Amino acid sequence: MKNPAVEKAISIAGSQKELAKRCGKAQSTICDWLNGKKRISPEHVPDLVNAVAGEIKDYEFRPDLPALFPHPELTPPNRRP
């Protein structure tokens, strides 16, 4: 199953190779993230967000980690930064 956030990031960057270059990763890593062969490590999420100039948010790359990357619309008002 393809990761929609990575797919969108590739589209923004223009190619897997360009996204990899922007993130400082191998193109094969981007391919693995795209195709769900590997999960994006939390420490790499900021690199991806920066690579697409914030057009994709951290919580979109790892929606399964709401404690680390809370979705602003799902975070109670008293827990927002």
CATH class given for the domain over 4-79: mainly alpha
Model confidence pTM above 0.85: yes
For residue 72, what pLDDT is reported?
A: 83
Specify whether the CB–CB gap between 29 and 19 falls below 8 A: no
pLDDT at 24: 96
pLDDT for position 76: 60
For residues 74 and 67, give the distance between their C-alpha atoms in angstroms, rounded to a whole number. 11
Q: What is the pLDDT of residue 17?
A: 98
Q: What is the pLDDT along the chain (81 residues), one digit of tens a residue?
A: 899 999 999 999 999 999 999 999 999 999 999 999 999 999 999 999 999 999 999 999 999 999 999 988 875 655 545
- In a 13 Å sphere around the CA of 73, the CA atoms on its Cβ side amount to 4
Contact 67, 42 (CB under 8 A): no
pLDDT the model gives residue 1: 85
